[in-house]
Chain A
Amino acid sequence: MQARRVGGLRLPTRSPLLRIIARSVLVAVSVTWVSFSLMRLTPGDPAILLLGDQATDELIARMREQLGLNGTYLEQLGRYLSQLAQGDMGKSVVFGVPVTTLIAQAVPVTLQLMLVSITMTVILAVPIAVYVSLNPKGRGASAFLVLASLFVSTPAFFTGLLALLIAAVWLKIAPVAGIVGNLPEAITYLWLPSLVIALALVPILARVLIASITDTLREEFVEVAIVRGVRGWTFAWRYLIRPSIAPTLSLLSYIVGTLFASAVVVELVFNLPGTGTLLVGAVSGRDYPLVQGIVLFSGVFVVIIGAFADIVTVRIDPRVGR
């Protein structure tokens, strides 16, 4: 991947692994700075916005301190970074609890939702992609193209509410909302919201896989395998899917970002107490430290996943990253 350059900077190392890590660290710093700056975008004083006009000067000063808004810009940034380094994201204004505690409670739900969704996406997308790339002119392929556009343009909250209505209210094959326990037994609560997310992700993954498999099909070793008479799943896995994974991996951080965003909406629809529900509550309650914490977490999480995908890509295919 483009690990050689970070922005316009040339990194003085030849090891692809080190380059990926250095790049990710720099991007993570940028992510941190963006989420730090977020709270400083306010047109007015966040402390006064939270407390109202009637608040005494003393109360406002204390609130400013709690939000980390006292002192000069550089002092604020320094304090924010040193607190972050100690794992301190500040205290929630609404709950009065450390932000890290709230996020740590919500993250397992979101991660399990993401895990089930991504598994479903792969299970659905791979056979579709293999079928369409082997029959590119068939009816299935054109049906896929239209359906892909349709599913990508259907908002997750519409599919989610319809799924809830059909599966939970009418057919009663899924619980109406909420979650009890963890995977694997929580699958009864997670399969429907995950399916909703997967419906939007399958077209994205399948399209990239199709393009990638179509490229692979032009390779000589595929022809040789066909001539040798390799058939069925061995052929599909060894000669079509496995050589086509590397280009798909670079999409992983994009997929995880999309997952995170659709999780916000889907968690709200299905009443799952994950980071998305926490974020929406924090936004309407103007809980600045909590909002900032979740935003930062989502950005850093995507950067880490991206670095992981890059490293795996380099491992699988050493041509990349040289």
Chain B
Amino acid sequence: MTAAASAMSLPRSMARRFRLLPGSARAGVIIITAIVALGLLVPILSPYDLYEQVGKANAAPTFEHPFGLDSLGRDIVTRSFGAVRIDIVVAIVGVMIPLLIGTVVGGLAGTTDLRVVRGGVGLLVDGINAFPFLILALGVIAVIGTGAQAMIIAIAFTSWARYAKLARTRAAVLRDLDFVSALRLLGYSRARITVRHILPNCFSETVAYGVSDFTLVILTVAALSFLGAGVRPPEPEWGSMMADGRIYLQSAPWILVGPGIVLTITAFGVSLIGEALKDRSRG
């Protein structure tokens, strides 16, 4: 097939794949597409600025401001959707980095013949996995400081071990399979077998897990910011906006409702997709 033809069939094959998904996953894809589109469009099309005061502080919802105004008089609709960009980007990077590190480390640890390496990596992985995710992430942030970048490092430090555990188990199974022995008999080098055959097989498993992990990471990013350990104000971010709402819970409860709803819908959409992929990889 020529490049042009395959490029033309790409949307069509995507449409076919979409139709083959179970109903709940299709709903998830629609939700996420809508959220991302709104996240890109609302900050541009909205008559209000993300950072500028547009009215009285803590003003109740009106027709012009359906979610109300926050404690600095900024429009909450604009900011709730403006937060999509930073939250989704941090979550995507926060899933991809540990997925890469974890799969490679776990895959290598599962194939190596060095007992010490296998045991050592295994222990370290079990040790990190024992900690509650949010608590270890908070511990890392206490040491390296707050901000989006620090949050990604903290999540990566904590999450890679979950992927490594999956990849290690998978690689240990793979290395004893017939096709790997066949490759070895054919004279392929160990490095080539690992890189070309074992790691890709590990990735297919960790990527499926990564999608369902995405929900946890989105919620953790928001939780860290809610606790004041994540994205710093004035950047629009769901968790830190809701921390603002917590202060005015009695007088202006609408401050937390807008970002809370957008965050929940996003996490819900992702989890619908993740569940479907998990069921499929389970067979």
User: Could you tell me if B131 and A34 are in contact, using CB atoms closer than 8 angstroms?
Assistant: yes
User: Could you tell me if B123 and A26 are in contact, using CB atoms closer than 8 angstroms?
Assistant: yes
Q: CB-defined interface of A125-160 with B at 8 Å, one 1/0 digit per residue?
A: 000000000000000000001100110111111100
User: Could you tell me if A306 and B130 are in contact, using CB atoms closer than 8 angstroms?
Assistant: yes
Number of residues on chain B facing chain A (CB within 8 A): 54
User: Could you tell me if A298 and B135 are in contact, using CB atoms closer than 8 angstroms?
Assistant: yes
Overall SS of chain B's interface = helix
User: Could you tell me if A268 and B131 are in contact, using CB atoms closer than 8 angstroms?
Assistant: no
A216 to B255, alpha carbons, bound, how many Å? 48
User: Could you tell me if A284 and B260 are in contact, using CB atoms closer than 8 angstroms?
Assistant: no
User: Could you tell me if A295 and B131 are in contact, using CB atoms closer than 8 angstroms?
Assistant: yes
Count A-B contacts at CB 8 Å. Answer: 177
Q: Which among A150, A253, A299, A302 has the highest number of chain B CB atoms within 10 Å?
A: A299
User: Could you tell me if A46 and B143 are in contact, using CB atoms closer than 8 angstroms?
Assistant: yes
Q: Indicate whether A38 sits within 8 Å of B140 (C-beta atoms), given known contacts A149-B268, A161-B245.
A: yes
Which residue of the partner chain, among A150, A169, A268, contacts B249 with CB atoms under 8 Å?
A169
Q: CB-defined interface of A255-268 with B at 8 Å, one 1/0 digit per residue?
A: 00110110011001
Which residue of the partner chain, among A8, A42, A260, contacts B118 with CB atoms under 8 Å?
A8
User: Could you tell me if A27 and B126 are in contact, using CB atoms closer than 8 angstroms?
Assistant: yes
A22 to B: closest C-beta gap in Å: 12
Chain B residues with Cβ under 8 A from A145's Cβ?
Answer: 24
B-binding segment of A77-85, A275-283, A308-316: A275-283
Number of residues on chain A facing chain B (CB within 8 A): 61
B187 to A: closest C-beta gap in Å: 27
User: Could you tell me if A31 and B130 are in contact, using CB atoms closer than 8 angstroms?
Assistant: yes
Chain A residues with Cβ under 8 A from B242's Cβ?
Answer: 157-158, 161
Q: Indicate whether A299 sits within 8 Å of B127 (C-beta atoms), given known contacts A158-B263, A260-B132.
A: yes
B94-151 CB contacts (< 8 Å) to partner A: 109, 115, 118-128, 130-136, 138-144
B229-283 CB contacts (< 8 Å) to partner A: 229, 239, 242, 245-246, 249-250, 253, 256, 260, 263-264, 267-268, 270-272, 275
List 4 additional contacts besides A6-B122, A284-B229, A291-B143; criterion CB under 8 Å. A41-B143, A42-B143, A257-B130, A291-B142
